[in-house]
Amino acid sequence: MRNNKTQKMVFMALLSAIAIVLHSIEAMLHLPLPLGMKLGLANIISLVVIEFYGVKEMFVVNIFRVVVSGLLTGLFGQMPFFISCGGVFLSSIALAIVKKLTSLPMISTSIMAAVFHNIGQVAVVSIFYAQPAIMSYVFILMASSIPTGILTGMCAIQILKRVDKKQFQ
Protein backbone atom coordinates (compact mmCIF):
# COMPACT_ATOMS: atom_id res chain seq x y z
CA MET A 1 0.00 0.00 0.00
CA ARG A 2 1.34 3.42 -0.99
CA ASN A 3 1.36 6.38 1.32
CA ASN A 4 -0.04 9.19 -0.86
CA LYS A 5 1.15 11.97 1.48
CA THR A 6 4.71 10.67 1.40
CA GLN A 7 4.60 10.20 -2.36
CA LYS A 8 3.30 13.74 -2.85
CA MET A 9 6.02 15.12 -0.57
CA VAL A 10 8.70 13.25 -2.53
CA PHE A 11 7.39 14.53 -5.86
CA MET A 12 7.18 18.08 -4.50
CA ALA A 13 10.78 17.80 -3.26
CA LEU A 14 11.91 16.50 -6.65
CA LEU A 15 10.10 19.28 -8.51
CA SER A 16 11.60 21.84 -6.12
CA ALA A 17 15.07 20.40 -6.72
CA ILE A 18 14.56 20.59 -10.48
CA ALA A 19 13.45 24.23 -10.15
CA ILE A 20 16.55 25.02 -8.05
CA VAL A 21 18.82 23.36 -10.62
CA LEU A 22 17.17 25.23 -13.50
CA HIS A 23 17.50 28.49 -11.57
CA SER A 24 21.20 27.76 -10.92
CA ILE A 25 21.92 26.79 -14.52
CA GLU A 26 20.28 29.96 -15.77
CA ALA A 27 22.34 32.03 -13.31
CA MET A 28 25.53 30.44 -14.71
CA LEU A 29 24.58 31.07 -18.33
CA HIS A 30 25.91 34.31 -19.71
CA LEU A 31 23.37 34.98 -22.41
CA PRO A 32 23.68 38.17 -24.44
CA LEU A 33 20.44 39.62 -23.08
CA PRO A 34 19.83 43.20 -21.95
CA LEU A 35 20.14 44.04 -18.27
CA GLY A 36 17.70 42.14 -16.11
CA MET A 37 16.33 39.82 -18.78
CA LYS A 38 16.33 36.10 -18.06
CA LEU A 39 14.70 33.09 -19.68
CA GLY A 40 12.82 32.07 -16.54
CA LEU A 41 13.53 28.37 -16.86
CA ALA A 42 12.57 27.63 -13.25
CA ASN A 43 9.10 29.00 -13.98
CA ILE A 44 8.49 25.91 -16.11
CA ILE A 45 8.27 23.96 -12.87
CA SER A 46 5.77 26.45 -11.43
CA LEU A 47 3.49 25.79 -14.40
CA VAL A 48 3.88 22.03 -14.03
CA VAL A 49 3.24 22.09 -10.27
CA ILE A 50 0.08 24.19 -10.57
CA GLU A 51 -1.25 21.72 -13.15
CA PHE A 52 -0.38 18.61 -11.12
CA TYR A 53 -1.16 19.80 -7.60
CA GLY A 54 -2.63 23.27 -7.44
CA VAL A 55 -2.01 26.80 -6.22
CA LYS A 56 -0.89 26.08 -2.65
CA GLU A 57 1.74 23.61 -3.79
CA MET A 58 2.97 26.01 -6.49
CA PHE A 59 3.53 28.66 -3.80
CA VAL A 60 5.42 26.15 -1.65
CA VAL A 61 7.71 25.11 -4.50
CA ASN A 62 8.34 28.72 -5.56
CA ILE A 63 9.15 29.91 -2.04
CA PHE A 64 11.38 26.91 -1.44
CA ARG A 65 13.19 27.53 -4.75
CA VAL A 66 13.89 31.19 -3.98
CA VAL A 67 15.04 30.56 -0.41
CA VAL A 68 17.29 27.58 -1.23
CA SER A 69 18.72 29.30 -4.32
CA GLY A 70 19.47 32.36 -2.19
CA LEU A 71 21.22 30.19 0.37
CA LEU A 72 23.21 28.28 -2.25
CA THR A 73 24.41 31.43 -4.02
CA GLY A 74 25.17 33.26 -0.78
CA LEU A 75 22.74 36.04 -1.72
CA PHE A 76 20.10 35.25 0.90
CA GLY A 77 18.99 38.52 2.49
CA GLN A 78 20.74 40.66 -0.12
CA MET A 79 19.25 42.76 -2.89
CA PRO A 80 19.18 40.04 -5.61
CA PHE A 81 17.33 37.76 -3.19
CA PHE A 82 14.65 40.37 -2.53
CA ILE A 83 14.34 41.13 -6.25
CA SER A 84 13.79 37.43 -6.87
CA CYS A 85 11.24 37.27 -4.05
CA GLY A 86 9.30 40.19 -5.50
CA GLY A 87 9.14 38.61 -8.93
CA VAL A 88 8.22 35.15 -7.68
CA PHE A 89 5.62 36.50 -5.25
CA LEU A 90 3.80 38.66 -7.80
CA SER A 91 4.00 36.09 -10.61
CA SER A 92 2.72 33.37 -8.27
CA ILE A 93 -0.25 35.50 -7.26
CA ALA A 94 -0.98 36.34 -10.90
CA LEU A 95 -0.65 32.69 -11.90
CA ALA A 96 -3.00 31.63 -9.10
CA ILE A 97 -5.61 34.24 -10.07
CA VAL A 98 -5.40 33.46 -13.78
CA LYS A 99 -5.65 29.73 -13.08
CA LYS A 100 -8.64 30.09 -10.73
CA LEU A 101 -10.65 32.63 -12.72
CA THR A 102 -9.92 31.80 -16.36
CA SER A 103 -9.32 28.90 -18.65
CA LEU A 104 -6.52 30.53 -20.61
CA PRO A 105 -4.17 28.21 -22.47
CA MET A 106 -0.83 27.35 -20.87
CA ILE A 107 1.19 29.73 -23.07
CA SER A 108 -1.06 32.70 -22.28
CA THR A 109 -0.87 31.86 -18.58
CA SER A 110 2.90 31.62 -18.82
CA ILE A 111 3.15 35.02 -20.52
CA MET A 112 0.99 36.55 -17.78
CA ALA A 113 3.25 35.04 -15.12
CA ALA A 114 6.35 36.40 -16.92
CA VAL A 115 4.82 39.89 -17.15
CA PHE A 116 4.00 39.97 -13.44
CA HIS A 117 7.38 38.50 -12.53
CA ASN A 118 9.04 41.46 -14.25
CA ILE A 119 6.65 43.94 -12.61
CA GLY A 120 7.42 42.44 -9.19
CA GLN A 121 11.16 42.62 -9.69
CA VAL A 122 11.15 46.21 -10.92
CA ALA A 123 8.79 47.23 -8.10
CA VAL A 124 11.23 45.87 -5.51
CA VAL A 125 14.12 47.77 -7.11
CA SER A 126 11.99 50.92 -7.29
CA ILE A 127 11.02 50.65 -3.62
CA PHE A 128 14.53 49.75 -2.46
CA TYR A 129 16.12 52.73 -4.20
CA ALA A 130 13.11 55.01 -3.56
CA GLN A 131 13.05 55.90 -7.25
CA PRO A 132 9.59 55.45 -8.80
CA ALA A 133 11.04 56.39 -12.20
CA ILE A 134 12.74 52.98 -12.29
CA MET A 135 9.26 51.51 -12.88
CA SER A 136 9.48 52.78 -16.47
CA TYR A 137 12.06 50.02 -17.10
CA VAL A 138 9.22 47.53 -16.73
CA PHE A 139 8.11 48.39 -20.26
CA ILE A 140 11.47 47.29 -21.64
CA LEU A 141 11.26 44.05 -19.66
CA MET A 142 7.69 43.51 -20.92
CA ALA A 143 9.11 42.98 -24.38
CA SER A 144 11.04 40.01 -23.03
CA SER A 145 7.98 38.61 -21.23
CA ILE A 146 6.31 37.49 -24.42
CA PRO A 147 9.09 35.31 -25.89
CA THR A 148 10.19 33.97 -22.50
CA GLY A 149 6.59 33.27 -21.51
CA ILE A 150 6.06 31.41 -24.78
CA LEU A 151 9.27 29.41 -24.23
CA THR A 152 8.43 28.40 -20.66
CA GLY A 153 4.81 27.67 -21.59
CA MET A 154 5.86 25.44 -24.50
CA CYS A 155 8.33 23.57 -22.28
CA ALA A 156 5.67 23.04 -19.61
CA ILE A 157 3.23 21.76 -22.25
CA GLN A 158 5.81 19.24 -23.48
CA ILE A 159 6.50 18.05 -19.93
CA LEU A 160 2.78 17.67 -19.22
CA LYS A 161 2.35 15.66 -22.44
CA ARG A 162 5.14 13.26 -21.53
CA VAL A 163 4.43 12.69 -17.83
CA ASP A 164 1.55 10.59 -16.60
CA LYS A 165 -0.44 12.88 -14.30
CA LYS A 166 -1.80 9.86 -12.40
CA GLN A 167 1.68 9.25 -10.96
CA PHE A 168 1.57 12.62 -9.26
CA GLN A 169 -1.89 12.20 -7.70
pLDDT in tens, 70-115: 999 888 999 989 999 999 999 999 999 999 999 999 999 999 999 9
Average pLDDT, the chain: 90
- DSSP character for 166? G
Classify residue 163 by its DSSP letter: S
Residue 165 has pLDDT above 80, yes or no: no
pLDDT value of residue 97: 95
Question: For the whole model, what pTM was predicted?
Answer: 0.90
**Nearest-angstrom CA–CA distance, 123 and 137:** 10
Where does the pLDDT of residue 143 fall: very low under 50, low under 70, confident under 90, or very high at 90 and above?
A: confident
The angle formed by the CA atoms of residues 99, 102 and 106, to the nearest 5 degrees, is 60
- Shortest CA distance to 19 belongs to which of 84, 57, 64? 64
Residue 1 has pLDDT above 70, yes or no: no
User: Which pLDDT belongs to residue 2?
Assistant: 63
CA dihedral 125, 128, 130, 132 (to 10 degrees): 20
DSSP conformation letters of 39-58: --TTHHHHHHHHHHT-HHHH
